[in-house]
Structure 1
Amino acid sequence: MKKTCQANGIELAYQEQGQGKAVVLLHGFCGSSAYWEYIIPELAKEYRVIAPDLRGHGNSAVSVGTYSMELFAEDIKQLLDHLDISKATLLGHSLGGYVTLAFADKYPERLNAFGLIHSTGLPDTDEARQNRYKGAERIGQEGIEPFINDLIPKLFAKNNLQSMKDEVEKARQIGLATKPEGAQNTLKGMAERSDRNYVIANTSLPVLLVAGADDQVISPDKTFSVEHQLMTAETLPYVGHMSMYEGPNKLNDILHKFLSPKR
């Protein structure tokens, strides 16, 4: 059952499970904390797992204006304050990875480590940026459903679309629950995000980078766009953009190895 708190001027919904060192899981665009349903119970055996619904997603509130990555990061900082968590490991999927980097940039002292799962420190290309704005405009004209119906198949490896129909439909239903205005404001924020490869390159913290070999959204070369001496880099075969559904056991193994036992 989700809990709620006031954070950065909005009501933020989140899941919390387990005890121990804090691990925060940040979902991707048009997702929610439900994306982590196969991950939370496993990590919660050893850690205190916090999985929020980002602003405008899931059960969290919508606010007006562009949702910058810095705004999302401040939401998470205030959530940690509310939960009296001084330090955590932040693991972000896709959009959640962009937020993780914004957080690591501003609040490195609040982190034990951080990781990007199917994400990148690179900004959008000009073409991708324009597509974000077009997507926001389309949602305004047509509503969220046509946009989600086009988006979800791209998130899975092509070979998994038939064999994982239930997981694809789960992701679609989560996407359909996204508030249209929240999706539009997030698209604008992703379009305007800055290059944060320097955060990965210059951090003194352990970094995890996870890519899917068959990711149609963020290719492995974009995930591994910078090197770092404390980096753990993993590429999952037969996985697209959604390892939490396409390869949860493999992802759980990677996360456990990264998190334990030294941190």
Structure 2
Amino acid sequence: MHRETRRPDGTRIHYTATGPATGTALTLIHGWGCDRGDFDPIVKHLPPEVRVLAVDLAEHGDSRSDRGTWTIEEFARDVAAVLAAESVDSAVVAGHSLGGAVAVETARRLPDLVTQVIALDALHYLSLFPAQSEEDVQALLQPFREDFAGAMRGMVEAGSPEGTDPSLVDSYIRKMASVRQPGGLLALEGLARWDMDAALREVAQPIVLFAVRSIITQEAIDRYGDRFRIELVDLGSHHFPVESPAETAKLLAGEL
């Protein structure tokens, strides 16, 4: 069922509710420039008794907002608003890419409600997730300010291992390049300014990362391997949830 909740600041968050109305909710959070529709094929492969909430973050998909604050913490409040609207008292929060950061932040915000975090090729990109200097933040954002489409192509191609179907790469580029502005660029800035290490110090819930084997670096494994469980997968590119929905559903179901 397609539903909507409105936050006090006027932000309208759209989401899809599937499965029974009670029980632990598997909450799915898309990546930057994407939307909840990416999870539709995955939901079809999940057991029917699983309660699923797939969320469009502000200015992604159908959700709309003219707020002035674009941080990972604010996106976590989008998710928290959906959980409140659905009267959820227990949730596993799973996020892809930027959604993984939002999932961690949601767990920090709701320690008594979120029982586990599942990250789908998220959290391990060292140019994004550890705290960045202001110089590094500006260096990351400058190409997007000068040539958004070109920088977007470079980002998608960097997450597409050799052998990735070129038509899929092009489809990701088209989709992500059309993210609504200025929210899209401001959301990327919010991600670049997020301090994951600080968040991890406060999150006690277990975290598992399903990372693309050919993309993750040993440096990232060494840095975070003792903080969350890292499982390497060979299911496609950075966007493997779209490319391998049945296998991704199996990973998610195995954690519930």
Matched, 1:154 2:151: no
SS of 1:109's partner is coil
1:60 to 49, 60, 63: 63
Q: Secondary structure at the match of 2:161?
A: coil
TM-score normalised by length of structure 1: 0.81
CA–CA separation in structure 2 for the residues paired with 1:148 and 1:227: 29
**8 Å CA contact 1:90, 1:111 repeated in 2:** yes
| 1:60-97 Cα deviation digits (max 9, x unpaired) | 11324341111111111111111111121000111011
1:100-249 matched pairs, under 5 angstroms: 100-120=103-123, 122-123=129-130, 125-126=132-133, 129-138=137-146, 145-162=149-166, 165=167, 167-196=168-197, 199=200, 203-215=203-215, 219=217, 221-222=219-220, 225-227=223-225, 232-237=229-234, 239-249=236-246
Aligned equivalents of 1:168 and 1:65: distance in 2?
32
Q: Is the partner of 2:196 in helix, strand or coil? A: coil
Number of equivalenced pairs: 248
Alpha carbons of structure 1 residues 69 and 11: separation in structure 2 relative to 1, 3 Å: same
- Rate the CA distance shift 1:156–1:7 in 2: closer, same or farther, 3 A: farther
Change (3 A) 1:4 1:170: farther
SS at match of 1:205: coil
Q: Note the C-alpha offset of 1:7.
A: 2.5
* Deviation string, structure 1 residues 177-217 (Cα, Å, up to 9, x no partner): 42021111101101110133662x665433221100123xx
CA distance in structure 2 between the aligned counterparts of 1:156 and 1:214, rounded to whole angstroms: 9
Q: CA deviation at 1:49?
A: 0.7
Q: What's the CA shift for 1:101?
A: 1.2
Distance 1:236 1:29 in 2: 21
Question: For the structure 1 residues 185 and 204, does the alpha-carbon distance in structure 2 shift closer, same or farther, using more than 3 Å as the test?
Answer: closer
Please, which runs of 5 or more residues in structure 1 have no aligned partner? none
Q: For residue 55 of structure 1, report the CA deviation from its aligned partner.
A: 1.0
Q: For the residues of structure 2 that align with 1:233 and 1:118, how far apart are their CA atoms? A: 10
Code of the residue aligned with 2:160 in structure 1: it is F
CA separation in 2, counterparts of 1:236 and 1:38?
19
**Alignment CA distance shift 1:80-1:129 (3 Å):** same
SS in 2 for 1:90: strand
| Deviation of 1:255 (Å) | 1.2
Q: By how many angstroms is 1:133 displaced?
A: 2.3
Which shifted more, 36-45 or 24-33? 36-45
CA RMSD of aligned residues (A): 2.7
Where does the alignment leave 5 or more consecutive residues of structure 2 unmatched? none
Identity %: 22
CA gap 1:36/1:228 in 2 versus in 1, 3 angstroms: same
**Taking structure 2 as the reference length, what is the TM-score of the superposition?**
0.83
